[in-house]
Amino acid sequence: MRKLILQMQMSIDGFVSAGPADDQQWITWAWEEIRPQVSALLEGSDTILIGRKLAEDYIPYWMDVATQPDHEMYETGLRIAAARKVVFTKTYAASIWENTALATGELTEEVNRLKQQPGKDLIIYGGTSFVAALIKAGLIDEFNLFVNPVALGHGDPVFHLLNRHLSLKLKNSIAYNSGIVLLQYGNI
C-alpha cells in the first residue's frame, strides 16, 4: 500500500503561513540548501494531493516555472508539472488543469482509495486546512517538517484540529547550515 507523505515548511512556533499577506520569503530563502531532500521526497512519489484553495495558485505557479529554464526551481517545476495531481474539492465539477483529477467524495474514502492504487507514494504540500483535515483523520503516514529558524507569532497552524494526542516516531533529522531542521516522523 502506498504511503501519504506530508512535506511542509513551518516556523519554529508551528505556523505554516503568516496569513494572506505572507510573502513566503521566510520559506524560500534557503531553497538551494534543502532542494536535494525536497527533490528526493518528490521523486519517491508519483501523485500530489492538494486542497482546492491552494491548487488555484500552486498549480498555475509550477506550470509557469516549468516554462522558464533559467528559473532556480525549474527542475522542480518540471517534475511538479508532469506529476499526476489530485485536487480535493467540493467546489469544482471538472478539473481546469492539465494532468489533474478531482476528488469530490468523503476525505477518508478518497485518500484510502488512492493509497490502494499501484504506484509510488502520494505526497502532499498543502493547503493548510486540507492538511489539518488529513492530520485529524489520521491519514498521513509520514511527516517531513522543515522547521525554519523564524518565529511568526501568528498565522496558520496545521495541528489545531486534533482532538487527541498524535504520537509520532522520529525516523530522521537533518540540521542544515541555514538553521533549518528537517524532522521526519512516522506513525507509531
Domains of the chain, by residue range, sit at 1-45+128-187, 47-118
Indicate the SS3 state at residue 125.
strand
Which H or E run includes 86?
strand 84-88
Q: Give the whole-angstrom CA distance, residue 127 versus residue 133.
A: 10
User: Count of alpha carbons within 13 Å of 121, Cβ hemisphere only?
Assistant: 17
* Chain-centroid distance, C-alpha 101: 17
- Residues in the chain with pLDDT values less than 70: 18-23
pTM for this entry: 0.93
Q: Residue for cell digits 501568528? A: 154
Calpha distance 131→176 (Å, rounded): 25
Same CATH topology for 1-45+128-187 and 47-118? Answer: yes
Instruction: Quote the pLDDT of residue 80.
Output: 94
Which CATH number, 3.40.50.720, 3.40.430.10, 3.40.190.10, 3.30.300.90, labels domain 47-118? 3.40.430.10
Q: Would you state the pLDDT for residue 21?
A: 67
Strand, coil or helix: 119: coil
> What does the pLDDT read at residue 50?
95
The CATH superfamily assigned to 1-45+128-187 is Dihydrofolate Reductase, subunit A (3.40.430.10)
